[in-house]
Amino acid sequence: MALGIICIVTDAQRNNINLVFAARGMGPEAFSRKLCAIDPGATSFTPATHWLSSDAMGNQGELNILTAMTEGDLPPVPEGVIWGEEGVIAAAHAMAATNGAVFQVYSAAGDVEPVNHAAAVLASRGLQFVPDPEL
């Protein structure tokens, strides 16, 4: 069964968490949606306070990995990838970027529309998407 998975990270840890996901073979820009505090006056120039990554077709295994990351575990990486070597983020920096205080994971199962799931998570956190630039 597919699980909708939404991950949110603080702006301060965005670059490092993208490096963590890249080390896992899931990057380089896994966290690419800008978020800010709910503000009816927000514009495309509003600075991001948080960043979002989502997977509408996630699975329990991935959810378990992400949850373990928030609890201090390093995620598995492909064979030959070593934390802190050959351009891979150091383990201490990876753990700081995935600490539950700065990185949260939300999931939903069943008949849930991804857009509704995202809206509910963001509302519960007092966040919204930073508006896209007008064309």
Residue 23 resides in a domain:
yes
Q: Which amino acid is at 39?
A: D
Residue 135 resides in a domain:
no
Q: What is the pLDDT of residues 33-85, one digit of tens each?
A: 999 999 999 999 999 999 999 999 999 999 999 999 999 999 999 999 999 99
Distances (CA, A) of 9 to 12, 17, 82, 86, 125: 8, 8, 23, 25, 12
| Residue 63, pLDDT score | 97
Residue 103 resides in a domain:
yes
Task: Give CA–CA dist 119/109, Å, rounded.
Answer: 15
| Residue 134, pLDDT score | 84
Place of tokens 């006056």: 41
Q: Mean per-residue pLDDT for 94-109? A: 97
Confidence of residue 131 (pLDDT cuts 50, 70, 90): very high
Residue 134 resides in a domain:
no
| Residue 106, pLDDT score | 98
What's the number of domains the chain is made of?
Answer: 1
DSSP label at 102? T
| Residue 78, pLDDT score | 97
Q: Record the tokens describing residue 29, joined without a space.
A: 């820009």
Residue 19 belongs to what domain range? 3-129
Q: Which residues pair with 34 in a beta bridge?
A: 51
Task: Give CA–CA dist 113/116, Å, rounded.
Answer: 5
Residue 31 resides in a domain:
yes
